[in-house]
């Protein structure tokens, strides 16, 4: 059954944080101000690569109203950050490696004064040759950006004899795919308020996808115990991976501690573009071959990823890409070589899809090209090579078995959109002769969780509070995805609580347990797992205490809206508030576990996967080469739908981002400098692009005995659209696309009116 | 030091002249230290991007009464330079008599910008997306130079813009009435192509205003093309090729060739010139084909 408001019935709920968000009543963290606060700003390098000869701050410091000017000399702890490998300088010492590199920061009484103070910091640079191309960076004669060279990470994987397998191939396709430097474009740019407290602690109000990770990194920079730092991190005005790494927090924290006053920092869009993360541009060369019947024999892949100047999660993204360039298909032999390369381009990092978007665009492109060589229907061709439920994962690792691959494969030809395609030939031609219609489809197998070898804790806590609330505390973040709504819905549906009984606590390191990060499509899965683990102990504690208070056997009681109810009649017997008063001891249950992983050594291997098939219908205007997405269908096999609105929103929102990735988004750089400096040139889709039809079919069934419950859906909607559109464009105008965003010029044709006159429409 | 702080934190002085002559006097007095400001939608993007520095003095043209009206006058539509784009879009006289301009205005920026930006600002920018439409409509411009009013053709303003401190007060559009007894038809077309469907800078804009005679030949035609930083221009070779003829596939192919040569876009970092030339030529011939050649039963 398609997922929408109508089919969801009463499960379609108004999300608790919805009204304050859509009315603008809700204060985001970057909306916060306090009396007496200072305004912080960061001085960033104008050069993509330069040696710092000297930094003089005297003139800025001498300005009235300027309270601090900090440089690398003023960092008490580690002058570096980076979730996986801290090599990103808080303040550069002797060298800048990209146009966002920070050199100094100021705190002043007004934002205008702070801006003026930045101008008075005198930095002498000696420009160095710019390494703006990863292939060039790999050459021996390229300038070395780090002591250990320009290779950030390599990851190779192979099985079978790939040379031998290619020799046996009847058909071989080779192509190089390239993908853009996509920007997250969260509505709320990076920022926050940093408050030195009277007790000596520091409170950081600043969005992040993992408050405890920020706390650890800030403790390292500030050289203070983690317990002296409180990170308040939700609500967040969008993140999509872009705020998982530290951004302004080191500067806000250092300035607040240096001045003893609250400091506010909030990036302008220009600064956000310049300093913020982007999706890794990748060049992926694939050579793939089949036998005469269409069975895949050989697959050779080379991935070159542009990491920009520092590590953040570039190695992990590359590992993810290596897994996903193999994907859901079976080969006789395969060989993947991959490298993530330091350059003087902008910082690349975590972004929804995490390297899967680039990998799967290439892999699905190969499938469509091979099917054509074979003269086969591309969807039927995929079926021949598709994994079976008990097959190992892409890297040969055991994975949780599901039938998702077959299920989404079968759902696509049965969809309204695909049945329409079958009839399309008989239908009327488009209104204008220069408009061409095409259909395309793609298959996605996408891993969730951080993978083998990376600590991936999960957990949560339920408490009956003294004021009679059921408090659910999780270390996850709300960044628009509907996390609070999903948690509330699970508590109502699984325990029987009413929404008024609940208090949800997230995004505050002083108040939440270690639940791990809100990344990698993991939070909803892990909240579901946590509640499953907490359900029996917490329910029995509540019912036990109630039984004692009511002098009734526990099995005559159940949890319900407002309090403990008679199991048979539903009559309210004891309100939660009263239960809290009567309970002999506080009722608190906590669980702590880890995201499930495959029992292998290979770092980054995933264990839980979601599957999706995507079908699209596009219209290409051959006068302008512009592509319109008219209709899309997504089948998603990811276990039960926890929150229908959140599920639909994730697939729709992911698809919208993927449309931008496919048709228009690219943070264009020239010699290490952004040409797209603001949203007037970096264009993302508007409602005008997103008004086509949209259907989502969730496939909820899981194998009997499956213990893992709902799988991640936060990223999968952003992955399959690009290859599906590329194939639909080919179907429409016969032009193959290997580079995103699609270049309209390649799709243009001079209108031929001679033929129109001979055959009037 | 205190003075310096004040200097740093000063806001620009905003001058509010009561008539165009006063505005011109202020501009003459301040020279490069002042700019005229109307909706300021373009200026603010330039100030924010650092491509222009906010000068110490802003001359607020919106304070001059009587410059925002839209009226029919002696066979002309007179659009006050301070008329907001969205007021132009919604004005019944413009919708009726200058639908080409309304079509162009609908596609400028986004709604919130059109609520503030003025038609005069779009003209003074020279590369505004309304300009090809104004060229195709043979618009004239009223300027006040401090002593009196002078009218010039919009083509003259685009060809050789005067740098004199003068204020644009109105845009005049001739009203071309169809002769009630003839079978002549007036048609128009406007197309804008950017890198997305809405709220986008243009890469290519084309505007066509044409009249066909009873025999199906083209009695009158003006084709203008612009886009991005390209100063819009009439496509005179294409016009000459079409005038007096009834377009067919062969003629359209010649028009296509003519536009590829006539249309010279100013460089854009996000689109190749070859793409923009092809787009302009394709859009023009497709519009002509729809109007003059498409089999009648297919005309919607």
Q: Same domain, yes or no, for A552 and A462?
A: yes
Q: Which residue has the higher pLDDT, A38 or B182?
A: A38
Q: Tell me if B45 and A680 make a contact (CB, 8 A cut-off).
A: yes
- Please classify residue B40 by burial: count the beta carbons closer than 10 Å to its beta carbon, then call 0-12 exposed, 13-18 middle and 19+ buried: buried
Give residue A160's pLDDT: 98
Give residue A681's pLDDT: 95
Q: Look at strands A572-575 and A563-566 and give their pairing.
A: antiparallel
> What would you measure as the largest C-alpha separation in chain B, in angstroms?
79
Indicate the helix (H) or strand (E) that contains A368: helix A356-374
Check if the beta carbon of residue A442 is closer than 8 Å to that of residue A612: no
Check if the beta carbon of residue A162 is closer than 8 Å to that of residue A326: no
Give residue A124's pLDDT: 98
Q: Tell me if B197 and A628 make a contact (CB, 8 A cut-off).
A: yes
Residue A145: helix, strand or coil by DSSP?
coil
What residues are paired with A631 via a beta bridge? A617, A693
Q: Tell me if A744 and B48 make a contact (CB, 8 A cut-off).
A: no
Provide mean pLDDT across the span B224-231. Answer: 98
* Six token digits for residue B195: 């890198």
Percent of chain A with pLDDT over 70: 99
CA-nearest residue to A110 within chain B is B9
B85, HSE (Cβ side, Cα atoms, 13 Å)? 28
User: For residue A726, is it within any domain?
Assistant: yes
> What would you measure as the largest C-alpha separation in chain A, in angstroms?
92
Helices (H), A120-210: 134-137, 162-167
Q: What is the overall mean pLDDT for chain B?
A: 93
What residues are paired with A197 via a beta bridge? none
CA-nearest residue to A746 within chain B is B275
Q: Does B111 touch chain A (CB under 8 A)?
A: no
Other beta carbons within 10 angstroms of residue B96's beta carbon come to 12
Q: Does B7 touch chain A (CB under 8 A)?
A: no
Domain boundaries, position A572? 457-594
Q: How confident is the model at residue B10 (pLDDT cuts 50, 70, 90)?
A: low
CB interface of B with A, residues 25-84, below 8 Å: 45, 48-49
A202 Cβ neighbours under 8 A, 6+ residues apart: A194, A195, A196, A218, A222, A224, A228, A229, A230, A253, A256, A257
Give residue A758's pLDDT: 44
Q: Same domain, yes or no, for A468 and A444?
A: no
Q: Does B2 touch chain A (CB under 8 A)?
A: yes
CA distance A274 to chain B (A): 13
Percent of chain B with pLDDT over 90: 89
Name the domain boundary from A594, A623, A639. A594
CA distances from A95 to A72, A87, A99, A313, A722 (A): 12, 13, 12, 22, 38
User: For residue A135, is it within any domain?
Assistant: no
Closest Cβ–Cβ partner in B49, B197, B281 for A677: B49
Domain count for chain A:
3
Q: Does A680 touch chain B (CB under 8 A)?
A: yes
Q: Same domain, yes or no, for A522 and A621?
A: no
Give residue B294's pLDDT: 84
Give residue B1's pLDDT: 46
Q: What are phi and psi of A536, to 5 degrees?
A: -65, -55
What does the DSSP 8-state code read for residue A118? H
Q: Same domain, yes or no, for A557 and A625?
A: no
Name the domain boundary from A275, A291, A326. A275
Q: Does A757 touch chain B (CB under 8 A)?
A: yes
Give residue A748's pLDDT: 98
Q: Does B283 touch chain A (CB under 8 A)?
A: yes
Closest Cβ–Cβ partner in B196, B256, B271 for A689: B196
Chain A residues whose CB is inside 8 A of the B42 CB are none
Check if the beta carbon of residue A461 is closer than 8 Å to that of residue A588: yes
Q: Report the candidate in A301, A312, A326 with the shortest Cα–Cα distance to residue A247.
A: A312
ipTM value = 0.95
Q: Report the candidate in A723, A705, A529 with the shortest Cα–Cα distance to residue A615.
A: A723
Dist CA A753 CA A757 (whole Å): 6
Q: Same domain, yes or no, for A584 and A627?
A: no
Q: Same domain, yes or no, for A82 and A227?
A: yes
Indicate the helix (H) or strand (E) that contains A694: strand A693-699
The CATH number that applies at residue A428 is: 3.30.365.10
Residue whose pair of structure tokens reads 């002509």 in the numeric block: B288
E-assigned strand segments in B195-275: 202-212, 218-227, 230-234
Q: Same domain, yes or no, for A381 and A466?
A: no
Check if the beta carbon of residue A261 is closer than 8 Å to that of residue A183: no
- Best of A66, A750, A756 to mutate (most B CBs within 10 Å, chain B): A750
Indicate the helix (H) or strand (E) that contains A440: strand A435-448
The CATH number that applies at residue A97 is: 3.90.1170.50
User: For residue A144, is it within any domain?
Assistant: no
Dist CA A327 CA A737 (whole Å): 20
Q: Look at strands A202-205 and A229-232 and give their pairing.
A: parallel
CA distances from A436 to A432, A462, A619, A623 (A): 9, 56, 5, 10
Chain B residues whose CB is inside 8 A of the A681 CB are 201, 269-270
Check if the beta carbon of residue A81 is closer than 8 Å to that of residue A275: no
Dist CA A748 CA A436 (whole Å): 11
Q: Same domain, yes or no, for A85 and A116?
A: yes
Chain B residues whose CB is inside 8 A of the A623 CB are 279, 282-283, 286
Q: Tell me if B279 and A623 make a contact (CB, 8 A cut-off).
A: yes
Residue A54: helix, strand or coil by DSSP?
strand
Check if the beta carbon of residue A585 is closer than 8 Å to that of residue A689: no
Dist CA A96 CA A94 (whole Å): 7
CA-nearest residue to B6 within chain A is A113
CA-angle at B243, arms to B237 and B248, nearest 5° = 95
User: For residue A659, is it within any domain?
Assistant: yes
Indicate the helix (H) or strand (E) that contains B257: helix B249-262
E-assigned strand segments in A282-332: 282-290, 296-308
User: What is the distance in angstroms between the CA of the first residue and the CA of the last residue of chain B?
Assistant: 72
- Best of A751, A755, A759 to mutate (most B CBs within 10 Å, chain B): A751
Q: Tell me if A753 and B5 make a contact (CB, 8 A cut-off).
A: no
Q: Tell me if B282 and A116 make a contact (CB, 8 A cut-off).
A: no
Q: Does B197 touch chain A (CB under 8 A)?
A: yes
Name the domain boundary from A547, A565, A594. A594
Q: Which domains does chain B have, with CATH numbers?
A: 12-59 (3.30.43), 70-174 (3.30.465.10), 185-293 (3.30.390.50)
Check if the beta carbon of residue B286 is closer than 8 Å to that of residue A751: yes
Q: Does B225 touch chain A (CB under 8 A)?
A: no
Q: Tell me if A753 and B270 make a contact (CB, 8 A cut-off).
A: no
Q: Tell me if A431 and B300 make a contact (CB, 8 A cut-off).
A: yes
Q: Same domain, yes or no, for A255 and A210?
A: yes
Give residue A760's pLDDT: 38
Closest Cβ–Cβ partner in B48, B195, B293 for A753: B293
Dist CA B92 CA A525 (whole Å): 57
Dist CA A225 CA A207 (whole Å): 21
Q: Same domain, yes or no, for A644 and A739?
A: yes
Tell whether the model's pLDDT for residue B179 goes beyond 60.
Answer: no
User: For residue A249, is it within any domain?
Assistant: yes
- Best of B259, B279, B280 to mutate (most A CBs within 10 Å, chain A): B279
Chain A residues whose CB is inside 8 A of the B45 CB are 678, 680
What residues are paired with A458 via a beta bridge? A593
User: For residue A166, is it within any domain?
Assistant: no
Q: Does B196 touch chain A (CB under 8 A)?
A: yes
Q: How confident is the model at residue B185 (pLDDT cuts 50, 70, 90)?
A: confident
Number of residue pairs across A and B with CB atoms under 8 Å? 111
The number of angstroms, rounded, from the C-alpha of A672 to the middle of its chain's C-alpha atoms is 25
CA-nearest residue to B110 within chain A is A686
Tell whether the model's pLDDT for residue B280 goes beyond 70.
Answer: yes
B33, HSE (Cβ side, Cα atoms, 13 Å)? 10
Residue whose pair of structure tokens reads 């080779």 in the numeric block: A174
Helices (H), A63-151: 111-119, 134-137
Closest Cβ–Cβ partner in B1, B45, B279 for A64: B1
* Intervals of chain A under pLDDT 70: 425-429, 756-761
3-state secondary structure A632-690: EEEEEECCCCCCHHHHHHHHHHHHHHHHHHHHCCCCCEECCEECCCCCCCCCCCCCCCC
Q: Report the candidate in B40, B24, B131 with the shortest Cα–Cα distance to residue B82.
A: B40
Closest Cβ–Cβ partner in B8, B282, B294 for A116: B8
Report the C-alpha dihedral over residues A13, A15, A18, A19, rounded to 10 degrees: 60
Sign for the pseudo-dihedral over CA of A204, A205, A208, A212: positive
Chain A residues whose CB is inside 8 A of the B2 CB are 64
Tell whether the model's pLDDT for residue B58 goes beyond 90.
Answer: yes
Q: Same domain, yes or no, for A471 and A616?
A: no
Dist CA A211 CA A473 (whole Å): 13
Q: Same domain, yes or no, for A672 and A577?
A: no
- Best of B9, B195, B229 to mutate (most A CBs within 10 Å, chain A): B195
* Six token digits for residue A47: 């050069």
Q: Tell me if A65 and B5 make a contact (CB, 8 A cut-off).
A: yes
* Tens-place pLDDT, residues A32-68: 999 999 999 999 999 999 999 999 999 999 999 999 9
Q: Tell me if A624 and B49 make a contact (CB, 8 A cut-off).
A: no
User: For residue A291, is it within any domain?
Assistant: no
Q: Does A677 touch chain B (CB under 8 A)?
A: yes
Sign for the pseudo-dihedral over CA of A667, A115, A343, A602: negative
A537, HSE (Cβ side, Cα atoms, 13 Å)? 13
Dist CA A658 CA A723 (whole Å): 10
Residue A157: helix, strand or coil by DSSP?
strand
Report the C-alpha dihedral over residues A593, A596, A598, A601, rounded to 10 degrees: -40
CA distance B144 to chain A (A): 33
Closest Cβ–Cβ partner in A626, A683, A685 for B193: A626
User: For residue A600, is it within any domain?
Assistant: no
């Amino acid at each position: 059954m398609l997922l929408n408001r109508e089919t969801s019935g009463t499960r379609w709920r108004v999300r608790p944080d919805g009204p304050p968000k859509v009315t603008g009543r809700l204060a985001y963290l970057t909306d916060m101000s306090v009396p007496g606060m200072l305004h912080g700003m960061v001085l960033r390098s104008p050069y993509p690569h330069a040696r710092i000869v000297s930094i003089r701050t005297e003139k800025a410091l001498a300005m009235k109203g300027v309270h601090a000017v900090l440089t690398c000399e003023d960092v008490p702890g580690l002058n570096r950050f980076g979730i996986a490998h801290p090599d990103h300088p808080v303040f550069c010492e002797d060298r800048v490696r990209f146009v966002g590199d920070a050199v100094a920061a100021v705190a002043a009484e007004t934002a205008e004064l702070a801006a003026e103070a930045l101008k008075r910091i005198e930095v002498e640079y000696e420009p160095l040759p710019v390494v703006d191309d990863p292939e060039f960076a790999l050459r021996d004669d390229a300038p070395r950006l780090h002591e250990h060279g320009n290779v950030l990470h390599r990851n190779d994987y192979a099985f079978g004899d790939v040379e031998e397998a290619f020799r046996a191939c009847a058909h071989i396709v080779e192509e190089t795919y390239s993908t853009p430097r996509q920007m997250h474009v969260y509505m709320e740019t990076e920022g926050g308020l940093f408050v030195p407290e009277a007790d000596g602690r520091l409170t950081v109000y600043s969005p992040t996808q993992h408050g405890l990770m920020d706390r650890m990194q800030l403790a390292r920079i500030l050289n203070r115990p983690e317990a002296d730092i409180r990170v308040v991190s939700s609500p967040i005005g969008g993140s999509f991976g872009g705020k998982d790494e530290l951004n302004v927090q080191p500067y806000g924290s250092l300035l607040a501690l240096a001045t003893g006053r609250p400091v506010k920092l909030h990036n302008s869009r220009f600064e956000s573009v310049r300093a913020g993360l982007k999706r890794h541009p990748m060049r992926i060369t694939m050579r793939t071959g089949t036998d005469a019947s269409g069975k895949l024999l050989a697959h050779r892949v080379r991935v070159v990823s542009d990491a920009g100047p520092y590590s953040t999660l570039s190695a992990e993204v590359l590992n993810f890409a290596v897994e996903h360039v193999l994907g859901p298909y079976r080969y006789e032999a395969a060989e993947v070589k991959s490298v993530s390369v330091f350059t003087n381009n902008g910082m690349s990092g975590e972004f929804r899809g995490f390297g899967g978007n680039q990998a799967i665009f290439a892999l699905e492109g190969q499938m469509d090209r091979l099917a054509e060589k074979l003269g086969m229907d591309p969807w039927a061709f995929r079926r021949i090579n598709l994994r079976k439920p008990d097959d190992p994962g892409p890297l040969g690792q055991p994975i949780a078995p599901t039938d998702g691959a077959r299920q989404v494969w079968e759902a696509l030809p049965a969809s309204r959109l695909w049945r329409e395609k079958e009839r399309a030939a008989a239908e009327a031609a488009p209104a204008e002769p220069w408009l061409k219609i095409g259909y395309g489809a793609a298959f996605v197998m996408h891993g969730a969780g951080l993978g083998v070898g990376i600590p991936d804790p999960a957990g949560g806590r339920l408490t009956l509070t003294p004021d009679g609330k059921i408090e659910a505390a999780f270390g996850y973040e709300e960044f628009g995805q509907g996390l609070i709504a999903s948690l509330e819905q699970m508590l109502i549906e699984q325990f029987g609580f009413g929404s008024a009984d609940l208090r949800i606590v997230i995004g505050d390191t002083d108040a939440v347990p270690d639940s791990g990060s809100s990344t990698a499509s993991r939070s909803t899965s892990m909240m579901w797992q946590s509640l499953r683990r907490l359900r029996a102990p917490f329910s029995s504690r509540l019912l036990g205490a109630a039984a004692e208070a009511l002098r009734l056997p526990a099995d005559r009681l159940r949890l319900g809206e407002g309090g403990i109810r008679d199991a048979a009649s539903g009559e309210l017997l004891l309100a939660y508030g009263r239960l809290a008063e009567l309970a002999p001891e506080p009722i608190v249950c906590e669980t702590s576990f880890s995201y499930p992983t495959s029992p292998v050594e290979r770092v980054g291997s995933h264990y839980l996967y979601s599957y999706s098939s995507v079908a699209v219908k596009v219209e290409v205007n051959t006068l302008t080469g512009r592509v319109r997405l008219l209709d899309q269908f997504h089948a998603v096999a990811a276990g039960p739908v926890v929150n229908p609105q959140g599920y639909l929103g994730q697939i729709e929102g992911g698809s919208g981002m993927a449309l931008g990735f496919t048709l228009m988004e690219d943070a264009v750089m020239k010699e290490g400098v952004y040409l797209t400096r603001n949203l007037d040139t970096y264009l993302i889709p508007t409602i005008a692009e997103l008004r086509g039809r949209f259907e989502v079919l969730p496939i909820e069934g899981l194998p009997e005995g499956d213990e893992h419950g709902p799988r991640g859906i936060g990223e999968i909607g952003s992955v399959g659209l690009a290859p599906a559109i590329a194939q639909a464009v080919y179907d429409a105008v016969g032009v193959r696309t290997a580079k995103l965003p699609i270049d309209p010029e390649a799709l243009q044709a001079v209108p031929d009116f001679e033929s129109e006159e001979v055959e009037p429409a | 030091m205190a003075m310096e702080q004040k200097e740093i934190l000063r806001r620009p002085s905003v001058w509010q002249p009561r008539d165009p002559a006063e505005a011109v006097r202020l501009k003459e007095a301040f020279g490069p230290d002042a700019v005229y400001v109307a909706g300021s939608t373009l200026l603010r993007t330039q100030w924010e991007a650092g491509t222009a520095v906010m000068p110490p003095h802003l001359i607020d043209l919106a304070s001059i009464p009587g410059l925002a009206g839209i009226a029919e006058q002696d066979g002309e539509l007179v659009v006050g330079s301070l008329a907001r784009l969205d007021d132009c879009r919604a004005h019944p006289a413009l919708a009726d008599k200058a639908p080409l301009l309304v079509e162009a205005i609908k596609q400028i920026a986004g709604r919130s910008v059109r609520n503030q930006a003025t038609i005069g600002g779009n003209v003074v920018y020279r590369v505004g997306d309304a300009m090809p439409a104004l060229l195709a409509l043979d618009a004239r411009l009223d300027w006040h130079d401090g002593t009196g009013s002078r009218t010039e053709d919009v083509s003259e303003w685009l060809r050789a813009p005067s740098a004199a401190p003068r204020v644009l007060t109105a845009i005049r559009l001739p009203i071309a009435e169809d002769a009630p007894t003839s079978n002549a038809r007036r048609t128009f077309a406007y197309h804008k192509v950017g890198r997305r469907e809405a709220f986008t800078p243009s890469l290519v804009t084309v505007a066509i205003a044409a009249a066909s005679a009873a025999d199906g030949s083209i009695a009158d035609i003006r084709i203008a093309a612009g886009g991005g930083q390209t100063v819009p221009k009439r496509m005179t070779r294409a016009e000459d090729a079409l005038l007096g003829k009834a377009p067919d596939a062969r003629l359209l192919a010649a028009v296509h060739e003519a536009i590829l040569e006539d249309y010279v876009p100013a460089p854009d970092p996000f689109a190749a010139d070859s793409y923009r030339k092809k787009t302009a030529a394709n859009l023009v011939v497709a519009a002509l084909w729809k109007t003059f050649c498409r089999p009648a039963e297919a005309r919607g």
